[in-house]
Structure 1
């Protein structure tokens, strides 16, 4: 009799949980637009044509970071330095001193306090450069046998933060992979760490991009990875809001599908091999209105077409960037050719 009662009690809890999930997901849903333009979310967009010369000819660029008037970006695993006018100031990574061996970059962080760049190479070596590209010194990452892969690195509050996939071998028959957020000092001495779990979205079968990003809200660090299930993104956002999971605390250990800006919650993902999974999602917390656009927002500032890759350029997720090249620039930059460097666009989100 007691077992029957316990079983009925568990079933009742599950039923109420399911009903609660359906209520959250089917009532008072905000308006969700399948189309959207950059002006719907952006206050201003600044175009920076990256100057082309014999020392700097770029194709695709990524990992764009900024410190005041200094802009850094990566192309073909090399790190370049421009100013806010697009003037080329130098290539940071080139050849190792006294060798012809190139430095191939995996990731880097900008240390604005010391005007320094912390670069991780393909062999787990660490290089410290000044903004002029002068190699200050180099070292090696700590060696931990349980570390499998490093995520993207970020500088915040005089520390370096990164996610690391660890191999948990407690069960030797079936070792598992765990994701941890590490806090290091500027020389990769461990200061703290915490195990990460995917945020509770009120549903099973959660799939997100493996490459995580570091972000900051109210002075606290959290981890974001865009959802690979865009059909769920609006419902997931509402669930996170209603369950109060977007309040970031000092020891926050959830992987969120959203970047939390002052006004907008944003998730954007681009996969050229699976275009049906490429999307930009923006939830306007002030107007309780959402834009969920497959393929990206339309650039109605400079008429460059859809913005396939919208990248956050600040940890607080209020400034984003994208780049365009070639024919996409014909309307606003008719003098540029396919041989010229891309144009970088800095997007300031509405407050």
Structure 2
């Protein structure tokens, strides 16, 4: 029988008995806390989930319970033998290469193991087995010998998460999150939403390999380390920003510049419109803003006719003359009020033909200047 974990100085384990003969998170072993157990001839197995703070080297300490204290020097010897303590995976299989401790007079009751990080922080368990059908009380404690980093978790909202100088495991969860990953070799999962990862150096001081949704970023001159990143849409450097949401606001804003003006966007202007779209402005609204610019009016005229607009859309966006069927379709749509000229530009922008032409320019990310206004 295992007991709810608590502070040994105030916790009365004798009154809090519960059955724990299966793996669950109800009974845990955590740093700074102790977990109490009692075994008998009718209670042969106790399970505890290990609550690990982060990647590092740990020691599980097991002692008898005469003074509600655990220590490697407080041997858990009894007048019996045959109590076995193991560390297992989530399926109950003992970890390979990790010691198993038995209750003999020569046992100090400590088991050392390493946790490498990742998303398995709750997948390790302690199994206590009564092999001799004896009665005993015992306690478990968890010591951290060296911790390289921390497990850091976000919420379903918009979080600001700050890493440590070690090797962190950061899971941001839902929401639009800002992540300061710190130093070390971190594992970062942004989760859903548009997430920003803040780097301490300049864009040119990092190498990035992989895909836009799953990549490794390495600091080649500083101390940021090598980070493995998934589901993070934006990287913020000291001199630039890099966007990976090719199907989101960044990709749409880039393609709209190419569609409207037939050129790559300037970094500051692109950053402004990305920020506007991040805050809810639609692509059609951005296109309407382009119609008011001096550059647009120089290319299309102050009051262009429907024919002029459509012809220029085909030339600037698709780099060809309009086919008759396409020209007639868009003319009818605009002239009958089924779509605004700005809506037509947005549609050209996101057409399969335009996306295919632009993807080569943005497939490794979109560089822009973050808008701070």
Shorter-chain-normalised TM-score: which range? under 0.3
Give the helix-richer structure, 1 or 2. 2
State which structure, 1 or 2, has the greater radius of gyration over its C-alpha atoms: 2
Scaled by the length of structure 1, what TM-score is found?
Answer: 0.20
Normalised TM-score (structure 2): 0.19
Structure (1 or 2) with the greater strand fraction: 1
Q: Which has the higher contact order (CA 8 A, sep 6+)?
A: 1
